[in-house]
Structure 1
Amino acid sequence: MASPTLIPSRAELRASLARDGFVRISNAICHDDLEKFRGAATRATERARAGKWPYVRTVPKQFPPWPVSEVGSHGIWGLQHLLHPEMPDEDRRVFAESYFGETMINAVTALLECSQCDLILELYNMLVCPPRDFALRWHRDDIPPDVLPEAELERLQEPMLHAQWNLALYPDSSLVVVPGSHKRARTDMERNAHPYEDDMPGQKIVTMAAGDLVFYNNNILHRGVYDSKAERMTLHGTMGLAGADPARARNILQHGIGAWAAQCDFSDLPSDMASRAEGMQGRLIAMGTGQSVGFSQAD
């Protein structure tokens, strides 16, 4: 990953995220790492599209659970669980290095104003181009669309308990956000707009060059618009804080990570990175397996 000195100051990162709901770090990874990550991402994507990786996001379903049976007939728009013990060792190690590396850890601890010892291993997935043009509806990740404005604002005022990011391995303009919408309830227009509105007032397309890293508040009003003709492999991850509330636990454990987290072996990573990973793994395991937690959203 890039040198920590290339990351904007902690104050700049936090100010941008607080003001806009997202912040971009340009050229977050060096050329050599970019090529290494692309290699692992390409192999993983080929396996998933061939039906040899069962943890996928199938078109056109937006939220979990995703039916594996539809991979062949509908195609995929994402891969889940890049750190799963069933991932071939060579690729799993590359993904782990990108997740637990200094650049990512320094940025997350800056945004959350915490130490490494506070962090929990959460989700690590990859978003890829679907076989046909495909879009997600406007949403907040953990606030249903039918919640009343007062309750919506109350949820948005809760402290940030995690960091969520996209790390682009190829140019990516798929993420569309409404800057500042993470701090307020939806307007009447936003609440009544078509779920796939293409011209939401104030919307911004977050344009990323290969190697760019974007952190964003997962409850900013946002959507994804995916071009089937554009190469896309974007690593999509989250890290959380120990002691998070039940809603955060549901948001993570609904993806099934609790069923396999204890089986992960990070001993093949460099010693400092392995120690960091094992500590985060232990804090995730303490969160529980996630059986019967339910789902944050419904398609």
Structure 2
Amino acid sequence: MARSPNLEALERDGFIVIRSALTTEQIQELRDACQKVTAMARKGEWSNVRTLPKQFPPWNIPKGTNPAAEGIWGVQGMMHPSMLEHELFTATYFSDALINPTKELLQCEDDELVMELFNLLVRPDHNFELRWHRDDISEKATPEEELQRLGTPAWHTQWNLALYDDESLIVIPGSHRRARTDTERQADPYENGLPDELHVQMSPGDVVFYNNNILHRGAYNSEKERMTLHGSVGHVKGESVRARNVLQHGLRDWVDQCDFSKLPTSSRGRAEGMRRRLIELARKSGDVGYSLDG
């Protein structure tokens, strides 16, 4: 399969922005749905949320308590069968707008794809930042350990789909191909202004695909509306490399219940195959633990 300019840019920089992936009508439909979901979550009526000030899973919420009591910055499980508007979110996840670039970047076809994560990142209840990190490599890793892990194929795509203007993703281009520099290792975890850092500028309908082991962080303004759909799609060759990154979010508890009956015929077979491969991944994986602490 020929290598595309998008793939070359992803491999060089660690991210690629595809402009205007959605129509104006699709953006508005998703905004309306996300507003309902966010309102539900802020009222404490959805337990699977990203709680402030915690950065990474597990978001442990004691039973019988309000999951949004301390504020939230994300909503998990957009394809869960009990989620409001889950049919719209499911159709979006399996749509050509997201799957075609995924196949281009992974250089594969539908029958090699694996269903993974689909969440919503929202305006936090107070200003909130993530520390510099790689999604599946500990900050305690030595340079040799980083290089060994970074030398392994990613076997997935990860993306943020903006429904409003969004510049909260901060990356260091090219850092997915090298160990951290001394400056990066010694910097404050929330350092602003590291050499070469870049705020990824996104307009409504834009989607950024990025290597999840690029050195990156997030900075979220509580006064600026944010609704950014955040997901990933795997490749069958990922197997154990992807199992922890995906299954730490609890998908194995409900993925078999996802409803694909309202999907267009052209997407339904794709969705069923991707789910089947995720279930098989979960079956082969034991207790995967968590990628990061904090």
**Separation (CA, whole Å) in 2 of partners of 1:225 and 1:156:** 25
Of residues 274, 287, 296, the one that matches 2:291 is 296
For residue 19 of structure 1, give the secondary structure of its aligned residue in structure 2. helix
- The more displaced of 162-171 and 95-104 is 95-104
Q: Contact 2:44/2:69 (CA < 8 Å) preserved in 1?
A: no
Q: Contact 2:21/2:97 (CA < 8 Å) preserved in 1?
A: yes
AA paired with 1:281? Answer: R
- Counterpart in the other structure of 1:80: 76
Structure 2 unpaired stretches of 5+: none
- Counterpart in the other structure of 1:243: 237
CA deviation profile, 1:54-106 (whole Å, cap 9, x unmatched): 11000110110113346343100001110011113xx1111112110111111
Of residues 112, 126, 142, the one that matches 1:148 is 142
Of residues 168, 175, 185, the one that matches 1:191 is 185
CA deviation profile, 1:177-236 (whole Å, cap 9, x unmatched): 000000000001101110000111110000100110100000000000000011000000
Answer yes or no: is 1:21 the counterpart of 2:14: yes
Answer yes or no: is 1:163 the counterpart of 2:157: yes
**Separation (CA, whole Å) in 1 of partners of 2:268 and 2:102:** 18
- Counterpart in the other structure of 1:44: 37
- Counterpart in the other structure of 1:4: none
**Separation (CA, whole Å) in 1 of partners of 2:36 and 2:214:** 32
CA deviation profile, 1:224-281 (whole Å, cap 9, x unmatched): 0000011000000000011323131011001100111111120111111111111111
Residues 65, 291 of structure 1: alpha-carbon distance in 2 compared, 3 angstrom cutoff? farther
Of residues 26, 44, 59, the one that matches 1:33 is 26
| Matched length | 289
Matched-pair identity in %: 50
**Separation (CA, whole Å) in 2 of partners of 1:23 and 1:40:** 26
- The more displaced of 240-249 and 206-215 is 240-249
Q: Contact 2:117/2:233 (CA < 8 Å) preserved in 1?
A: yes
For residue 282 of structure 2, give the secondary structure of its aligned residue in structure 1. coil
- Counterpart in the other structure of 2:263: 269
Q: Contact 2:154/2:238 (CA < 8 Å) preserved in 1?
A: no
4+ residue runs over 6 A deviation: none
Of residues 4, 9, 30, the one that matches 1:11 is 4
Q: Contact 1:112/1:160 (CA < 8 Å) preserved in 2?
A: no
Q: Contact 2:73/2:123 (CA < 8 Å) preserved in 1?
A: yes
- The more displaced of 281-290 and 254-263 is 281-290
Q: TM-score normalized by structure 1? A: 0.94
Cα RMSD between the aligned structures?
1.3
**Separation (CA, whole Å) in 2 of partners of 1:114 and 1:253:** 23
- The more displaced of 266-275 and 137-146 is 266-275
Of residues 35, 52, 55, the one that matches 1:62 is 55
Structure 1 unpaired stretches of 5+: 1-8
- Counterpart in the other structure of 2:175: 181
**Separation (CA, whole Å) in 1 of partners of 2:83 and 2:3:** 34
Deviation at 1:33, TM superposition (A): 0.6
**Separation (CA, whole Å) in 1 of partners of 2:15 and 2:39:** 31
**Separation (CA, whole Å) in 2 of partners of 1:115 and 1:254:** 26
Deviation at 1:151, TM superposition (A): 1.0
Q: TM-score normalized by structure 2? A: 0.95
For residue 194 of structure 1, give the secondary structure of its aligned residue in structure 2. coil
Of residues 208, 213, 216, the one that matches 1:222 is 216
